Structures are given as C-alpha cells and as structure tokens.
Structure 1
Amino acid sequence: MKVTTIRPEELGPAEIARWHGFQRAVPGLDNPFLSPEFTVAMGEESPAARVAVLTEGDDVVGFFPFERRRWGVGVPIGAHVNDCQGLVHAPGMGWDAAEVLRACGLAIWEFDHLVDPQPGFDPHLEGRWPAPIIDLSGGIEDYETLLRSRSSRFTRDLPRRSRMLGREIGDVRFELASHDAGLLDTVLAWKSAQYVRTGAPDLFARPWLPRLLHRLLATESDGFTGLLSVLHAGDRLVAGHLQLRFDGVLAGWFPAYDPDLGKYAPGLQHHLGTARAAAAAGVRHIELGKGGEDYKALLANGTLMVGTGQVTRSRVVATARAAGRAPVRRLRDVVTSSPALYRWADRVRKAHSAADSTLRRRLDPASTR
C-alpha cells in the first residue's frame, strides 16, 4: 500500500467520486462529516489540513483527512466541530495505523468521534460512547407514536404550544432546507449568546467557524448538501439549525432559537418539524451528536457508537499529551454520555456563569456582560 499526502483542494473529480463511492458501499461511512465536501471546506480555513490518499497498485482504496499540528500531533480535520471521524475506505479493506501515521508525518493521531467500525484504528480505542439518533427507517408515524407513548409533552403540551405560537405570533411553518445566509447569521448570533449566557466557550468567537458554516451552507454536490432548517411564526424566525446531509443521513449542528420565545418550546417544535420533513425527503436517520442533553434523550430512538482514543508512534509525544489531556478527555466523555451527569454539570456551569455575571456587575456597573 502506498500513502500520498495532499491538500484537500488538490482532490479532483475522480477522487471525490471514488470517495463518495466508498461512503455508499461501506456501512457507517455515509455520515456527511466524512464527506469530501466537509474536508475541502475545512481545508479553506485550516493551513494544517491534509488528506492521505491510500492506493494499491493503480487503485485508490482509502482517504484519511486530518490536521497536522506541532510536534507531529495529528487530529481529525475540523477536530472540535467534527462529529464523525475516521478513514474512508474500500469495502473489506484493512490497514496498519502506525504505517499510515508514518506516511503522514504524524507521531500521534487523537480522535474523539471515531466512526464504528474502523478496522485499522479500533485496536487503539480507549472508550466507546453512544451517540443518539432519530431513526426514521420505520416511518414518521411509528416514530411519532413512540414519542407520544414516551411523554405527554407530545400528546398535549407541544401541540398546545404550537397553537399558542400561531395565535400570538403568526402562522407556524417549517422549512427543511433554507439557504438564506442572513437567517444563518441570526441563528449563529443566538447560539453565541447562548454560549455566553450559560458559561460555555463561545465557539463563534473564532472567525473561521462562521466562514466555514456559510461555505457549507452554499455547498451542494453529489449527495451532499449544507442546509438550514428553520421554523417561522408569521414573518418571525423562531428557531434554526444548520445541518449537513449526505444521501439518507442528516447530521445536526448548532441548533438555536429565539430566547424571547422560549415559552413556546421552540427547540422541541423545531426538532419534531425536522423529523417530519426529513422523513418525507427520504432521510433514514438524523444524528443528534454525542452528548447527554435532555432533548436528545427525549427525541432519540436509537444510538450509534463512536470511539475515543489515540494512535501513537512516539512514546515521548504520547506521554506528554496524556499527562495534560487524557484525564480531562475521559472525564468529559463520561459526563456528556450520561444525561444525569450532563444535567448536573450544566447546572454547575450555569450557576458559575450567573455568579460571574453578578460579580462583574457589582465591580463594574457599566458592564453589560
């Protein structure tokens, strides 16, 4: 096997078609985060982005997107915003992880959302965690029947709030695939404010991330599209969610809603609208992402497994990285995979944020934060 490393923008139409073919031929690889479109878009923002092209003779048999950082440390492409990671490969193919890293010039490759299974990387797993999904393969009627049996919120409360939203704000309508860049800016502003309000790091303080999301929203090719699902009441935007689709898989990303309309349960209304519209559009399942948020436990009717771990070629680099990062990563994985622990951590974070805001106002009455 030969491994050649290139920049994402060097991928040609033949390589991209081959990449799509592998995604369609191997179960589990049809996640849009594993698509070449995500890799190429991320390459526009990251000078460290690379793609390893694996060949046997004249045949391309795999693609491995990654980012190369200092000291030979490798991470998945778009690491902190990439919800599905791994090597996209031909059916039945195996590989030697250490040899791939050597050809890429990497001493270590760390991952936290490894697709399951990955023949060459599975021996390096440190943990496997459930990632909730909405499985629509049985049809929307079966899914909604399950939701109604699970919680009275779907039999009485949510329909009542939807009617109230229509009466008080305007006719409620849902659109699965808007490409309105202005609406995306509004959704990202809501999400940024939510991060600040709850004490979480504001991802959108990094200018490259909004640029990436706008680039993906404008991308549409063979099976892949970026889309913004939106819920309106009259002329008012209520909620939005940037999502990526490849064939029958829809992956959610950065859901947000107008905080002034919280009494109408806009988040749940939007997610239910997404499930209905996605089922009608031929989506098999919606990936909600690893995490223990309450709404995921309420909406999910299935799970996929994702892996965390690292492949190492240098014991020195691995030891140095593990000393500062591994315990924190493992603790984060445990917390985010448990709804109960996630709720507890979320309450602690919000209490800390509220106390910090109060202290800031007392020390500086002019502060708006």
Structure 2
Amino acid sequence: MAVPSSDVVAPLPDLPSFESSVDDFFIRSGLTLQDRLDCCSFIDGLYPGKSWLIAPCQGYCSLTVFVGDDDVVQFRPGNYRLDIQIVEAAREVYGSFAPDTRHIATLPKSGLLVYCMNKIPGVSLKHIREISTMADGVEYQARLCVDFASFVSRSWYLGSITSIPLGIVGSSITSRLESLSAELPARFRPVAEQTLSQMTLIEALPWVLTHGDILPGNIIVEPSSGQLCGLVDWAEAERLPFGICLYGLEEILGGPTASGFRYHFHATNLRSIFWNELKKQVPELLQAPVMRAVKLARDLGVLLWYGIAFDNGAINRVIQEGRDAEEIRKLDAFLELCVVDAENL
C-alpha cells in the first residue's frame, strides 16, 4: 500500500472540531494538510482567545466556522468566490434575513478567500429536523410559512436592482427550458413544455434578487418556535422573475424519506397559509393574471433547480433517470403539484 505524501489531505484525529464534511471540502478543493492548519491559525490570529467551532451544516463550496456567539468566518476557493455586490444587495433587500458579509483576506499559500459575516441567530431547518420532532408540529410549520411569505414579499417591492447584471441562470432561462423540454424523463416534459410556452408571462413579472439555494440547510429558524431568522449561502443569488424561489416552499412543506419525498400531513393547509399571507403582503397577487404568472414562475423554479444537475459546481446537464435519484424524487412530488395548479387556473 502506498504511503500518502504530506500534500495529501488526511483526517485529523488531533483536531476534533473538523468533521468528515470538512475533510471532503479540503480533498475536493485539492488542498493540503498545511492549508487546513493555516485556516486554523488564521482564525486564532483574527480572534485571539475566542472559541470557535465548525458549523454543523456545511455547503459544498465553502468551509464555515462559527466564532463565539456572533461571528462567522468562511473560506472559499477562488472559483467559488462571493460577488460582494450581490451579498450587499441581499442585505439591502432582505435586511436581517441576510448576513452582512465582507471579504477580509486571501490566504497566501492556498489562495482561499476569507469572508467574515454576522451569525444569523438560530439553527438550520435541516439540523432541527435531524435532532427533534418539534419541526413536525403544525403551529411550528405555520409560523415558518408565514415568515417565509414575508421574506419572499420583500423582493416584490425592493428586489428589482437593475444595476446587477443577469447571472448564469437568468441569462439562459429559455435555452435551459428548451433542453429540459427535450431531455427530461418523458413524464416531466409536458410541464417543461407548458412553462416554455408561457415564458412571456413569467418574464413580465418583476425581476428580483433571488436566493439561489433555498434548502433546509440554508434556512435558519428559531428552534423552539419555527420563526424564520434568515437564509445563509447567498453565493448563487441573482436577478430572476419573482416567484422562481418558491420551490423553497416545497422544501419547507416536506422532506426526503426512504421511499421518496413526502409532504407533511398538514401540507395543504400550510400551503394555503403561505399563499394567503403572501397575497396580504403583495396585494397585486389578488389579480388572477398576476397570480397565474407567479405560479408559472414557481413551476419554472422547480424545473430549473431540480431538472438541472449540480455537477461539482457546473449546472449544465439535464438530470437523468438512474443517475440523479434525489432530483427525480423531488420532481415527481413537485411537478405533480404543478399539474394540479394548472388544472385549477
């Protein structure tokens, strides 16, 4: 058996704060044992005497560390850098729902970019679901749905920041939909084709700054009540038609099981709570044509976020049966809902 060189990342039993997800990050990024130690030294130097720990939920493209009760330090390879204009705009549009983020350094040897941000109080919805059944309570879920509607509504009035150019998804929506219509498993293509045929309605909606990854790991809640405290990981945010982010509601209303994605028992009522609150916050949605366009945008968001695979950061391949099981399961659940909505509009 070959002995690994000193440049090969190996587990660090003498650094118990590092977990397997952290090992994966360093291996995936082609970084060394010394690079890992440099991250530790940087934090110790920046916050002398303060305790720090690895965040329990890690993203694919970064290493996130909690320092004390209030601060977050995040390390990112150059190809996953944050767009400071975007994260500043997120703070402007969504207020305390988004962290205040600054680029503070670049580590000289590894080239890792270092960002500092305030810690949004609370825990991730993913974490609370893993450690407690509290998140299954109907009052807990209802509170989260109301707050998520308030979060989404802010972009209708504040999110049209035209100084931000269109991003990867926003500048290629039609071509992506064309690929989805042609290459998705056959049972999903009718929704893609219908959405493509209605693109003029969707494009007429306000184009607003939209969080790019509304998953339970990025949704931060107050653990005892379900109050939405904010969203983290704004790296993929960009300007998109209002409503595209509503695939995130489906992530709130259910979760994966061994047999596929399953909605909570009260999901239908919770969905009504969300839409009623959103219409209260954005009265323009009381107009039937506007509501139809927003629900089409929701369908578009489902197609784009689960119909296009995430391959080590690339988002260019249409998902395939037998290769992308989790995405297929979510499309089965979410697109069935799209068909029901289309029949009722």
Which structure: greater strand fraction?
Answer: 1
Q: Larger relative contact order (C-alpha < 8 A, sep ≥ 6)?
A: 1
